[in-house]
Amino acid sequence: MAGSETHYTLPLPVFDRAVKLLVVVAPYYKDIADDLVAGACAVAHDAGADIDVIEVPGALEIPSAIAMAGRMTDYDGFVALGCVIRGETTHYDTVCNDSSRGLMMLGLQGACVGNGILTVENREQAVVRADPAGQNKGGGAAAAALHLVALSRKWARQTKGMGFRPAASEQT
């Protein structure tokens, strides 16, 4: 049973300048979303990050909102929060797969995204996972975004060059 497992959690990174995170939440299940946001905000606060929270209609809109914010704002990282509970149709599979795929594509393009969209079989599973005093998946998503921001900042100072060297006469 996963609930009785222990997991190693990386310590939060330390930053030399402020981090700005955008939390994008789909409050379809408002009580669960509120717990996810509370957990994310607490972890971000512990790391000294500044946070803004916006709401979108559903989990499928989260990647689009993050993509827009990535193009139009100066956030360092993003936290995706929401909950998808299996229903009677295959819509669950579409929402789970496409929201996750959208976030993964953003990450592969360089966005620092922590994915805290719960994909569960029932409400009880969601409540346990969202609870800030329990599994705190919102806090885990914020921590993931912060770790990616730290990596991005670390590697931004390194350069590999363009694959060619200027001619000797141009190196003065």
| Active-site annotation, residues | 91
The Cα 140–Cα 18 span in angstroms is: 19
The Cα 22–Cα 67 span in angstroms is: 11
The Cα 172–Cα 88 span in angstroms is: 70
Nearest of 28, 44, 41 to residue 120 by alpha carbon: 28
DSSP of 36-61? HHHHHHHHHHHTT-EEEEEE-SSGGG
3-class DSSP state of 154: helix
97-105 long-range Cβ contacts below 8 angstroms, 24+ apart = 98/60, 99/59, 99/60, 99/62, 99/63, 102/60, 102/62, 102/63, 102/64, 102/67, 103/62, 103/63, 103/66, 105/63
